[in-house]
């Protein structure tokens, strides 16, 4: 079973500034969470993320997991090249009652971290072997990525973004979840909106959706 954690607004600490740490940070960038990288050194791409204020960085010479006590993370991801240190970090995180993950040891982790196909920061498709073989998960991801990028078209991405806008607006107008669901399906099936999206006229598609919301009974 794959569970999508809601990380929005929460602090996620990634311990390790190498390639494995970078992979974990990349998987978090679309989750609207606060990302703190802790390490004694970091690679070039992470430096770029810091400059763009996408992540925060704390330089620490890592010897143990005691540094975690200074923070209140929702999730801790241990991605150093020291397996024993990663275990200590996971153990400390669990004592602090937050989710914990070790990049090199799925057995001690609270969950397996899947390989993710990310399409326009809008659709994420997870490929997981349940921690049995991360290498095979990555291989299958590379094979599947080409297929999904052909199947999921730009119109689908635009419709998802429009649905998000409409869903947020509908919460203030339509009282029940069932009625909101009907409204969102009406947008999905509206021929005028379909044509506007196909014509890449997103502003007019959004206007049409808001008119439909005002007229909804």
Q: Counting runs of H as helices and runs of E as strands, what totals does the chain give?
A: 8, 7
Confidence at residue 165, expressed as pLDDT on a 0 to 100 scale: 96
Residues 215 and 28: their CA atoms lie apart, in Å, by: 39
Q: Taking all residues of the chain, what is their mean pLDDT, rounded to a whole number? A: 93
User: pLDDT for 134-167, tens place per residue?
Assistant: 889 889 999 999 999 999 999 999 999 999 999 9
- Residue 146: DSSP 8-state: H
Nearest CA among 131, 132, 16, 26 for reference residue 81: 16
Confidence at residue 208, expressed as pLDDT on a 0 to 100 scale: 97
How open is the CA angle 18-124-112, to the nearest 5 degrees? 55
Confidence at residue 169, expressed as pLDDT on a 0 to 100 scale: 96
Confidence at residue 150, expressed as pLDDT on a 0 to 100 scale: 93
The two structure tokens encoding residue 127: 């490929």
| pLDDT: which is higher, 130 or 171 | 171
User: pLDDT for 107-124, tens place per residue?
Assistant: 888 887 788 898 998 998
Confidence at residue 3, expressed as pLDDT on a 0 to 100 scale: 65
Say if residues 87 and 102 touch (Cβ distance below 8 Å).
yes
**Largest Cα span, the chain:** 62
User: pLDDT for 36-91, tens place per residue?
Assistant: 999 999 999 999 999 999 999 999 999 899 999 999 999 999 999 999 999 999 99
Residues 202 and 205: their CA atoms lie apart, in Å, by: 5
Confidence at residue 2, expressed as pLDDT on a 0 to 100 scale: 63
Q: 1 pLDDT band (50/70/90 cuts)?
A: low
User: pLDDT for 96-111, tens place per residue?
Assistant: 999 999 988 878 888 8
Q: What share of the chain is helix, strand, coil (3-state, %, to 5)?
A: 50, 15, 35
What's the burial of 100, exposed, middle or buried (CB within 10 Å: 0-12/13-18/19+)?
buried
- How would you list the strands of the sheet with 56-59, edge to edge? 56-59, 34-39, 11-15, 75-78, 99-102
The whole-number average pLDDT for the span 10-29 is: 95
Say if residues 99 and 111 touch (Cβ distance below 8 Å).
yes
Give the predicted TM-score (pTM) of the model: 0.74
Confidence at residue 52, expressed as pLDDT on a 0 to 100 scale: 96
Confidence at residue 187, expressed as pLDDT on a 0 to 100 scale: 96
Instruction: Assess whether pLDDT exceeds 90 at residue 4.
Output: no
Residues 113 and 24: their CA atoms lie apart, in Å, by: 9
């Amino acid at each position: 079973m794959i569970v999508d954690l809601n990380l929005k607004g929460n602090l996620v600490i990634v311990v390790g500034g190498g390639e494995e740490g970078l992979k974990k940070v990349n998987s978090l960038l679309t989750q609207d969470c606060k990302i703190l990288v802790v390490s004694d050194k970091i690679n070039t791409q992470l430096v770029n993320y810091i400059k763009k204020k996408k992540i925060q960085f704390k330089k620490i010479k890592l010897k143990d997991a005691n540094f975690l006590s200074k923070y209140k993370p929702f999730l801790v991801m241990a991605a150093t090249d020291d397996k024993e240190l990663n275990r200590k970090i996971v153990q400390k995180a669990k004592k602090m009652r937050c989710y914990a993950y070790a990049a090199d040891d799925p057995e001690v982790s609270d969950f397996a971290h899947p390989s993710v196909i990310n399409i326009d920061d809008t659709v994420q498709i997870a490929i997981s072997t349940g921690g049995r073989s991360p290498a095979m998960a990555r291989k299958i991801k590379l094979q599947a990525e080409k297929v999904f990028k052909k199947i999921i078209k730009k119109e689908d991405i635009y419709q998802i973004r429009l649905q998000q806008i409409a869903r947020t607006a509908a919460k203030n107008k339509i009282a029940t979840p069932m009625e909101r669901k009907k409204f969102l399906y009406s947008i999905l099936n509206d021929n005028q909106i379909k044509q506007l999206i196909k014509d890449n006229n997103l502003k007019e598609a959004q206007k049409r959706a808001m008119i439909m919301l005002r007229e909804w009974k």
